[in-house]
Amino acid sequence: MQPTHVLHRFVRRLVLAAAALAAGLGTLPAQAARIKEVASVQGVRSNSLVGYGLVVGLDGTGDQTTQTPFTSQSLQAMLQQLGVTVPAGTNMQLRNVAAVMVTATLPPFAQPGQAIDISVASLGNAKSLRGGTLIATPLRGADGQIYALAQGNLVVGGAGASAGGSKVQVNHLSAGRVPGGGQVERAVPTPLAQGDSLQLDLNASDFNTAREVARSINTRFGAGTAMAQDGRVVKVKMPVAPDERVAFLADMENLPLELATPAAKIVVNARTGSIVLNQAVTLGPCAVAHGNLSVTISSTPVISQPNALGAGETVVAQKTDISLKQDAGSLIQLPAGTQLTDVVKALNSLGATPGDLLAILQALKAAGALNAELEVI
């Protein structure tokens, strides 16, 4: 066989392999999400709990009761409940007690006896909660009912020391956590076992997503099982038996969805200068010129004194110098960007700071060259 024939056969095989690879890539499924990632079952949610308590056992770093009288009042009330009577008018100068707010999150389906994590934060002027112990504190929900009790030793992720007017501190010392320090006392009823249907609430209002959720459920469980009511709510029919409902939800929340491309959006944090663009942002052809304008104002005090034998007074005046400087900004042409990488390269070519980019993006949006929603937070 001639070498030329071998080369032609090799090239033909290479072309066929490339065609097969392109065909395989063309049949790859689009990036999909699951129902559990875009929606939640109405009524199946966590609940916030809050309480007021005392932390004891501090090494002289507690509240100064002269400035936080509620700490001593709370301590006296607690001692009275324990059968200890404090004489009236007693000035309790205790530095090892701190008044705190106790917060926790009650997860869905939590049952009495289960443990939950607790967060504790100082209310007064305590220097540190390190080494303290939280006394039994009832945690209440929005309805005023007690749903959990909190108690335990605090874990504070910080350290500090002070002496001779100097102070060194690492992290925050006036807040901590009690892992597993809360015990659930009352369960929150959920509407999961009530009625013959449930409601799925989408995380974001989108008609296409609502339609895809209903379509995926109906394809798996039969027509008429789910119905999209609007861009946020999908009604789903449920089995009657509780175990069948659990199995139904387990299968339903893992159904795949083919979501449409999200709306083009740019989020700008004006406080930190952070700018985030999603993949749908595109840029039309435009030209941008950006220059820096700086104004400098300097004041110099000028003292005017009278003669030694004069009757005048010394007067202090201000001599003010104002200078204005504007750097030259060249006109830069930005090509049309159909992909996020093209938009990033075009914006980077301006050489502007994040603060300047905010003004440039707003101007591009006003000129109609930026195909995206601009949100400033």
Domains and CATH numbers, the chain: 47-158+168-184 (no CATH), 195-258 (3.30.70), 265-304+315-376 (no CATH)
Q: Which regions in the chain score pLDDT beneath 70?
A: 1-32, 89, 91, 159-167, 169, 290-299, 308-312, 318, 320, 322-332, 334, 338, 340, 350
The three-point CA angle 282-346-293 to 5° equals 115
Summarize pLDDT for 75-88 with one digit per residue, the tens.
Answer: 888 888 888 888 87
pTM over 0.75: no
* 3-class state of residue 180 by DSSP: strand
Cβ neighbours of residue 108 closer than 8 Å, sequence gap 6 or more? 44, 45, 46, 188, 190
Summarize pLDDT for 140-168 with one digit per residue, the tens.
Answer: 999 999 999 999 999 988 766 666 666 67
- At 174, which amino acid appears? S
Instruction: Please tell me the predicted confidence (pLDDT) of residue 243.
Output: 84
The three-point CA angle 252-195-231 to 5° equals 55
Instruction: Please tell me the predicted confidence (pLDDT) of residue 100.
Output: 95
Instruction: Please tell me the predicted confidence (pLDDT) of residue 248.
Output: 92
| Cβ–Cβ under 8 Å, residues 38 and 217 | no
